[in-house]
Structure 1
Amino acid sequence: MHTETLNRLQHDHNFAVINRKGERRTRLVLVLTLLTMILEITTGMMFGSMALLADGWHMGTHVAAFMITLYAYRYSRAHAHDQTFAFSSGKVGVLGGFASSVALGVVALMMLVESGERILAPRIIQFDHALMVAGFGLFINFVCALLLKDSHQHGHSHDHAHGHVHHHDHNLKAAYFHVLADALTSVLAIIALYAGKQYGWNWLDPVMGIVGALIITRWSFSLMNETSPVLLDESIALKHKTAIKDVIENDADNRIADLHVWRVGPDHFAAIISVVSHHPKAPEYYKALLMQSQGLKRYGDGLRLAHITVEVHQCQGEDCEG
């Protein structure tokens, strides 16, 4: 009884990102980054280079971020089709990104404190050895960047209305830019070490450590600002709400009594809409209006409404005029 209608009305709640190629490459990048981190931290302490030590700690933050990324991939895949979450495991990666941003802030603070101590109490630096290790670290960053460059473009998530939709893997894209930031820190370390060796500017080494810490801090706040609104179900921008209202209210005498839109995955949004009309139609009619609207297909580049719930009320008298 009602089987056909039930099947038509049920939503697919799988909004998790599946990117096996990206997952494999992230695992390889994790191993390379971990080995380089150990090498740079060890040699930074041995040779007295704060810039090299800072670069090693910066790579350590990437190790943590990559481990979180891999865990998020595996956890999301394991819970993609069960009832653990109301709207699938699409936000697991977002939570991991927020955790990484907090860890980055702590590491940046440690680097600032250590660099300040090195400015007040300079140490002897073995420039040749430190330069060699810093150059190796930059090479590893370059390899990791190549591995992650295109992988984030081959992920997909499931859209209940359109099947599998290819889009950018935002978590892996963040990891890619994280590697680029680490490469920049390596460049700063090399500049500081070279200047110290050639011109005796030993003070530049801890200064570059501070610069590296500021870069990490800025990335940390950027990631925190990007992930926290998603975790807190922040609503969409007013212009997108207005666009949704215009699509519905420009059709006949419809009025929207209540509207809620929030992110349910890295690239998908859910909407609950209450419509009032003198001549109401079936909810599928209003859903079709929204899905056909070109201006609502992507958020940022537009808006993708992947899960729409519409309740319809018939208006009596003159209550919904105007």
Structure 2
Amino acid sequence: MTPSTLLRVSVAVAVLTIALKTMAWWVTGSVGMLSDALESFVNLAGAVFALAMVTIARRPADDEHPYGHHKAELFSSGFEGILIIGASVAILWAALSRLIHPQQLEQIGWGSALLVLSSVCNGVLAWYMLRAARVHHSAALEGDARHLFTDVWTSAGVLVGMGGALLTGWQWLDPVVAILVALNILREGGSMLWESSQGLMDEALPQEQLQRVQAVLDEHSTARNSAVRFDSLISRRAGSRNFVDLHMHVPAEWTLGRAAQLRTDVEAALMRVVPNLRATIEILPLGQATVFETVESLNEQETRGK
């Protein structure tokens, strides 16, 4: 399935789980069930927003966005993080109120059955979406999948709280578990918000991918007895797309055609080891630097001199 199709399925599953969990809360009166139902509303809002952002991210580059719209997916991940944080605050408020004013739980069997059914739906979808996110390198899919997994753990915590309250008669266990669940999803929301912010700030490629890039460059340099040299390598990520920029220094006596063919070979090799990569390779004669590099070098020398 495409990311858009999966997110449409996520919207449908979110509506189903909201109905199931709201019914579970209605029949049991459990604040844990209420907290779980509130998070499902967040799932729905997140899935709808993710679908919109994935649609925008797939738009081709234009005059105003020459590098494309890939970063739109990162807005989706950050938005879901904010929604999760908001839901956790609402859950904490409800749980603290119930902790102060305990209430007897009712019809736990029916409520638990409805909660388990909704968790199975979320768990299966989250597992499939996470696999698809790795295939499509989609930040929006990964964010929605992680959110759904959080929802599954939330439901598991709620079941533990209700079961403990039923077995021990300690009604305070239900709101206490709800508080622990809220703190857990608060942590997850903060993590998602941080990761999306790093992507929007043009974070470098992961170290593993940079090592693959360097291995390709070393291979091409060694194959020509170091007659070719690569430097000034920088990288960044933008949603599902990866970018690297570097300089390729070749002997001055080489023809432009020969240098261009080598650049094509290097680009193809880099695209094989890093998915969704756009490589920009500038050709320079050996021993020559760009004006930017020269200015940067002078600035560094002045800084060290001070």
TM-score range, shorter chain: 0.7 to 0.9
Q: Structure 1 residues 152, 191: closer, same or farther in 2, change over 3 A?
A: closer
- The residue that corresponds to 1:68 in the other structure is 49
Q: C-alpha separation between the residues in 2 aligned to 1:305 and 1:291?
A: 12
Q: Structure 1 residues 246, 238: closer, same or farther in 2, change over 3 A?
A: farther
Q: Secondary structure of 2:12's match?
A: helix
Give the number of aligned pairs: 279
Aligned AA for 1:86?
Answer: P
- The residue that corresponds to 1:260 in the other structure is 234
- The residue that corresponds to 2:285 in the other structure is 314
- The residue that corresponds to 1:125 in the other structure is 104
Q: C-alpha separation between the residues in 1 aligned to 2:96 and 2:50?
A: 32
Taking every aligned residue pair, what percent have the same amino acid on both sides? Answer: 18
Deviation of the 1:259 alpha carbon = 2.2
Deviation of the 1:18 alpha carbon = 4.5
Match of 2:6 among 22, 41, 53: 22
Alpha-carbon displacement from aligned partner over 1:12-63 (angstroms, at most 9, x marks no partner): xxxxx9435414422321321343454456x2xx854221121112222212
- The residue that corresponds to 2:301 in the other structure is none
Q: Structure 1 residues 221, 249: closer, same or farther in 2, change over 3 A?
A: farther
Structural mapping, 1:40-51, within 5 Å: 43=26, 48-51=29-32
Q: Secondary structure of 1:271's match?
A: strand
Q: Secondary structure of 1:259's match?
A: strand
Q: Secondary structure of 1:261's match?
A: strand
TM-score, scaled relative to structure 2? 0.76
Alpha-carbon displacement from aligned partner over 1:234-259 (angstroms, at most 9, x marks no partner): 12345654642534544433334422
Q: Structure 1 residues 185, 264: closer, same or farther in 2, change over 3 A?
A: closer
Point out where structure 1 has 5 or more consecutive residues left out of the alignment: 1-16, 157-165, 318-322
CA contact (8 A) 1:33 1:62 kept: no
Alpha-carbon displacement from aligned partner over 1:280-317 (angstroms, at most 9, x marks no partner): 55244134225326xx745xxxx336211111111359
Q: Structure 1 residues 196, 180: closer, same or farther in 2, change over 3 A?
A: same
Q: C-alpha separation between the residues in 2 aligned to 1:70 and 1:114?
A: 30
Q: Structure 1 residues 194, 30: closer, same or farther in 2, change over 3 A?
A: closer
Q: Structure 1 residues 34, 118: closer, same or farther in 2, change over 3 A?
A: closer
Q: C-alpha separation between the residues in 2 aligned to 1:237 and 1:70?
A: 26
Q: Structure 1 residues 297, 220: closer, same or farther in 2, change over 3 A?
A: farther
Match of 2:36 among 47, 55, 58: 55
Which structure has more helix as a fraction of its residues?
2
TM-score, scaled relative to structure 1? 0.73
Q: Secondary structure of 2:244's match?
A: strand
Match of 1:94 among 74, 87, 93: 74
Whether 1:292 aligns to 2:275 is: no
- The residue that corresponds to 1:212 in the other structure is 181
Q: Structure 1 residues 100, 284: closer, same or farther in 2, change over 3 A?
A: farther
Alpha-carbon displacement from aligned partner over 1:65-92 (angstroms, at most 9, x marks no partner): 1111222233334x23645533222221
RMSD: 3.2
Aligned AA for 1:123?
Answer: P
Aligned AA for 1:67?
Answer: V
Deviation of the 1:222 alpha carbon = 2.7
Aligned AA for 1:285?
Answer: L
- The residue that corresponds to 2:302 in the other structure is none
Aligned AA for 1:310?
Answer: I
Deviation of the 1:209 alpha carbon = 0.6
Q: Structure 1 residues 58, 213: closer, same or farther in 2, change over 3 A?
A: same
